[in-house]
A and B are shown apart, each in its own frame.
Chain A
Amino acid sequence: MSDTTIPIIEARTPPPEAIRKWTVSRIAGTALCGVWIALGAGLAWSLYSAFDPDVFFKYIPKMAEGLIITVKLVVFSIFFGGLLAIPMALARMSKSEIVRGCAFGYVYFFRGTPLLGQMFLMYYGAGQFVDQLQSAGLWWFFKDAYNCVLLTFVLNTTAYQAEIYKTAIESIPRGQREAAETLGLKKGVTFWKIIFPQAMITALRPLGNEIILMIKGSAVASLVTVFDLMGATKLAFSRTFDFNVYLWAAIIYFSIVETLRRTWDWLEIRLTRHLVR
């Protein structure tokens, strides 16, 4: 009987590590990274060398208050916009042509025109109807620029979120609804327990983008006397002409957006882990 054992292969030295050649793209990449490092250092130097403690301690608290207003604007508009967006999305898919047409008009108007213009229309337009609004008992709401801005943001994000929900709901295969019907489930139960949760998973990514757009877009509130983060920054700049305040604001906005983006990425992976095959 022959020996069937396989002789052990002696461990061999690994192949030598490939030498990374200095290709054109590597040179360009290294140079560009160098440019970024230089710019970062320049930013740090500018923040350090032109640091004015008087400006800092006077206006950083104002900017912090502004940040709270920004956060409040975004949270409220996304929340109330979300509440309004679901009926709006359903109206976009309604069987009635009139309902569908109205909802389409609404969404098209708010998505087709600049947020800044909508805000001016709301804020200055309301100012034109002081008497009517006072007699209707609504003036207390519209006289505050913050409320006008919030209302505009809510109406605006409703249009965007409605479109997101509509796309998400339409992405659910028809078989799901039919299967639920076969099981004798009521329409409401089918929507809330079967269609909606699945649609929300699809809507997660665009919804995150919409929140980020809202954070960035909320900076325009500063143009109608709302002292959000941007408003406080502009105030500080107009009084001190210290350019650094814009750089502080940039760092704050950037950190918020980047943190949210990364959190959202993590959230998406976490919530869809049962869908990964």
Chain B
Amino acid sequence: MMDLITQLAWGPNGWGDELAAGTLLTVSLALATLPFGLAIGLLVAVAKTSGDKSLQTAANIYTTIFRGLPELLTLLIVYYGGQIVLQRVLALFTDAYVEVNGFVAGMVALGLVFSAFSSEVFASAFKGIPAGQPEAAQALGMTRWQAFRLVTLPQLIKLSIGGLSNLWLILLKETSLVSVIALNDLLRNTNIAVGSTKQPLFFYSVALLIYLVLSLISAKGLGAVEAHVKRGEQRTA
């Protein structure tokens, strides 16, 4: 058991630094995906709740597609398909060979999936805000943007924070899929460690434990955020 622990040492003789680097990549990939996924999700949700039929249809197609495909397949399609498309576009100008960056491919694929699900969360949050509120804001002379920023958005955050927290936890776990496209995230570095030490049980347990700790920290942090945005609500019973 002791010699297993020493395997986790820092430096060239242990795998501690590799696992830490992998963890860092996992977290940064998830964090990099988040703003992009939230922004698109919000836009799609605005389209879904807009009065226009064609806009709603376009938004619903988006959600249906990226909710219906396995994340792994979306990732591979973005990675390999992106490569093909990029190559064809570049061939018009130059004959240089450019490889699609794995991190960007992962970010795009996970972001597409995340935004499809977050748009559903935002759309149902929009429905939770009575139409009278933006109307009242308009009656007070606010512009549409002011009404959105000052009246709708704060309530929207409050109504959607629970669903978004769940999506973040799912995103954190789904980043493990990028290990397939040779991106050195936590799981791939663990695979490398297992390949060289032949200790799968130990290293995979450590990796899962790290994921668990990341979920735990996120859940705590998000709980605090939720408590903060809901601080105005009365706590009865």
Residues of A within 8 A of B (CB): 23, 25-26, 28-30, 32-33, 35-36, 108-109, 112-118, 120-121, 124-125, 127-129, 215-220, 222-223, 230, 233-234, 237, 243, 246-247, 249-250, 253-254, 257-258, 261
Contacts and interface: CB of A to CB of B under 8 A. Distances in A.
Closest 5 CB pairs of A and B: A29-B55, A29-B54, A124-B200, A32-B58, A121-B204
A253 B68 CA distance: 7
Given A219-B70, A243-B81, 19 more contacts: A25-B55, A29-B50, A29-B57, A32-B47, A32-B55, A36-B58, A115-B173, A118-B208, A121-B201, A124-B194, A128-B199, A219-B73, A220-B177, A233-B73, A234-B76, A243-B80, A246-B76, A246-B80, A257-B68
B90 interface: no
B172 to A, nearest CB: 8
A114 B174 contact: yes
A118 B205 CA distance: 9
B31 to A, nearest CB: 17
B173 A120 contact: no
B121 interface: no
Interface stretch (B102-110, B146-154, B211-219): B211-219
B28 interface: no
Nearest to A237: B80
Contacts of B64: 258
A116 B188 CA distance: 11
Contact of A216 (B70, B169, B205): B70
B180 interface: yes
Contact of B216 (A112, A114, A258): A112
A249 B68 CA distance: 12
A220 B173 CA distance: 13
Q: Please classify the interface of chain A as helix (H, G, I), strand (E, B), loop, or mixed, using the class held by over half of its residues.
A: helix
16 contacts: A23-B52, A28-B47, A29-B52, A33-B57, A112-B216, A114-B211, A117-B204, A121-B200, A121-B204, A125-B204, A128-B198, A219-B70, A219-B71, A219-B72, A246-B73, A253-B73
Interface string B206-229: 011001100110000000000000
B24 interface: no
A117 B187 contact: yes
B91 interface: no
Contacts of B198: 128
B9 interface: no
B3 to A, nearest CB: 15
Contacts of A215: 70
B73 A120 contact: no
A117 B58 contact: no
Contacts of A257: 67-69
A113 B212 contact: yes
B70 A116 contact: no
B11 interface: no
